Structure 1
Amino acid sequence: MSSDKKTTKFDLSSSALESGIDIAKSFVDKLVTPPIEELGLLVKDQISYWRFNNQIRILNKAKALCEKNKINIKSLPPKLLCPYLENASLEDDNDLQDKWAALLVNMVDSEQNIQNHVFPYILSQLSKDEFDLLESVLIEKKKRIFDLSKELSEFIETRSNIENSLKLKIEEQKAKLEKLSPDGKFVFSSEAMQTKSSIRSIETELRSLAYKELVLRRQISAPQSIPEQNIKEFEIANIIRLGLAKVVYEASAGTHSIDIPGDRESSYTSVDFDIEIETETSTILTELGELFIDACREKTA
């Protein structure tokens, strides 16, 4: 019993595809040399309509972003563009297609130097939930750095005036205390006690200024933690596998007791320590993770 094998052919010149193909092809021709026909990037033997259609959509989105942001396009080497198109063709989620388009736009932007061969692979390995979580973490970090940097700048600008103001307050309180303490003898009156307490408080505030800049700089450079309660265990494992996040350990010593035996016949004293050490772990966004998420986002003026 014989059966006939039927081969489905797509009419790429049909009215349904002609417009989209022409737009995408004209855009890709600007990205790579030699011409697209010699590479066979979009239309290959046996390529499925589904993958081809995904490529068309993503390329047209990229073209629209380039026009919107007036991107000066540079060409990409086939070694980078071919894997990009191959991986992008498998993505049918509309939101992630936007990320693929943004990644291509950033790679072809002549004002940027993004030609990382691993980024298309990483994007192909992420789900929408995983990407959205990492993007929200990066946005939160950028906001934190912006707010703290603004606070640091204002502090540095006003620090001298704040110090002078505090020193003046101390002198005023000391002068007040001298009036309340005739002959240099301290009077234990309620007002005198309050004045002395006020001096100590202002002196403490003055000393704290020396550490405020250091604290702010440390907060600015601190890594951003990923809220693991918002993601499944296998998803965080995937993010770590891709190098976008890593686990860090922090150890802290707790209270401990010392036992000294009361044996009078011993020629020496032995001391036993019971030390409690607590280890905390957190998952943080890596530098690679930041660079990758940034590369997949549309740049705004």
Structure 2
Amino acid sequence: MSEIKFDLTSSIGEKSLDLAKSFLGKLISPSVEEVGLLWQDKVRMWRFKNQIQMLNKANAYCEKNSINPKKISLKVVTPLLEYAGLEEEELLQDKWAILLTNMVDSAQNIENHVFPYILSQISTNEFLVLESTMDSIDKRKAIYAEELEEFNRTEFLRKEDILKRITDGEGKEKADIQNEIYESSVHQNRWRLNKELKALKDKKVNILLAMQVPEPLNGDMKEYELANLVRLGLIRYIEKTYGYVKPHEIRIAPYSEYIRLEDAEVEITTGYEQHILTELGELFIKACTERKNSKKKEE
């Protein structure tokens, strides 16, 4: 069978071809002509068009977000162009352009040769579920970040107020030490204030812990889709367990901050099972998410 030849310039458009070629030239060395990544007679037309379209989208993202693209290694850009050329889903075509944009953004320092392979291995639904989950994680962390900022802003004054009330109570105790009823009241008040002080110290830890609570996958997925994401290391499976103690076996000493469980019976049960994003999964979604221009955010 004779080999089919075609005129790339007439099919793609000289301006579009030159624009893509110029952008690619900023990313790699040696020159495009020497490497011959795209301009091969054996490359099918539709695949070539996908690569050109992706490069032009990446160029547009760079201009939109004021990104001065850096050069990246052929080990990274070659498989990215090969995989992107096979992509048929429009949404994922955009993700290829964004991934390339983030990889050539010197401000982000992303140059991971695994990400192009991962993106080539997942479906649109799988990506959307991962993206939605990452969005939920970011929103939750943003809420707790505001709460943490407010806590840090008021922590010193609240702590000083509690310490002052403790000091005032001790002064009154010394002035009226012979009054046993009053002395008992002061002891109770001091215990209550110390407990309040401890709760204030624990507040920051609790906020930080809440920011790290695992987020279950946000969306419906088939078993084979879950298995694929596990295979790629983007998600992992966890079990939530709970411990229960019979209330009548707990003994609490007066004014104590601790409980004694010497004879208590503790029961551990499995609550529910879920899949969560791994660290690689979070990094991958961030690498495929457009970085907004900081100046535009302020406006």
Bucket of the pairwise TM-score, normalised by the shorter protein: 0.7 to 0.9
Q: Secondary structure at the match of 2:9?
A: coil
Q: Does 1:97 align with 2:128?
A: no
Which of 269, 272, 282 is the matching residue for 1:290? 282
Q: Name the aligned partner's letter for residue 219 of structure 1.
A: A
- Asked if structure 2 preserves the Cα contact closer than 8 Å seen for 1:249 and 1:281, the reply is yes
Paired residues for 1:1-301 under 5 Å? 5=1, 7-14=3-10, 16-165=12-161, 205-220=196-211, 222-227=212-217, 230-254=220-244, 276-279=267-270, 280-300=272-292, 301=294
CA distance in 2, matches of 1:168, 1:148: 29
Q: Provide the C-alpha distance between the structure 2 equivalents of 1:228 and 1:145, rounded to a whole number of angstroms.
A: 16
**Equivalent residues, number:** 272
**Partners in 2 of 1:229 and 1:97 — Cα distance?**
21
5+ unaligned residues in a row in structure 2: which ranges?
171-177, 183-187, 247-264, 295-299
Which has the greater radius of gyration? 1
SS where residue 283 of structure 1 aligns?
strand
- The code of the aligned residue for 1:40 comes to G
Go from structure 1 to structure 2 and tell me whether the alpha carbon gap of 1:245 and 1:78 turns closer, same or farther (over 3 Å shift): same
Whole-Å Cα distance in 2 between the matches of residues 290 and 23 of structure 1? 33
- Judge conservation of contact 1:72–1:111 (CA < 8 Å) in 2: no
Distance 1:230 1:152, change over 3 A: same
In 2, Cα distance between equivalents of 1:10 and 1:45: 8
Which piece of structure 1 moves more, 9-18 or 207-216?
A: 9-18
Whether the 8 Å CA contact 1:28–1:36 is kept in 2: the answer is yes
Percent identity between matched residues is 44
1:66 and 1:229, CA in 2 relative to 1: closer, same or farther beyond 3 A? closer
User: What does the per-residue CA deviation read over 1:198-234, in whole Å, with 9 as the maximum and x for residues that have no partner?
Assistant: 99877754442121111112112x2432236522222
TM-score of the superposed pair, with normalisation by structure 1: 0.76
CA offset at residue 41 of structure 1? 0.9
Quick check: 2:217–2:277 contact (8 Å CA) kept in 1?
no
Q: Distance in 1 between matches of 2:201 and 2:266?
A: 34
CA contact (8 A) 2:129 2:218 kept: no
Secondary structure, aligned partner of 1:53:
helix
Instruction: State the distance in 1 between where 2:159 and 2:67 align.
Output: 49
Q: Is the 8 A contact 2:132 2:218 kept in 1?
A: no
Contact 1:248/1:283 (<8 A) preserved: yes
TM-score by length of 2: 0.77
Three-state SS of the structure 2 residue aligned to 1:104 is helix
C-alpha root-mean-square deviation of aligned residues, in Å? 3.4
Deviations 1:227-249 (A, max 9, x none): 36522222122111111111123
Q: Deviations over 1:34-62 (max 9, x none)?
A: 11122221122322111111101100000
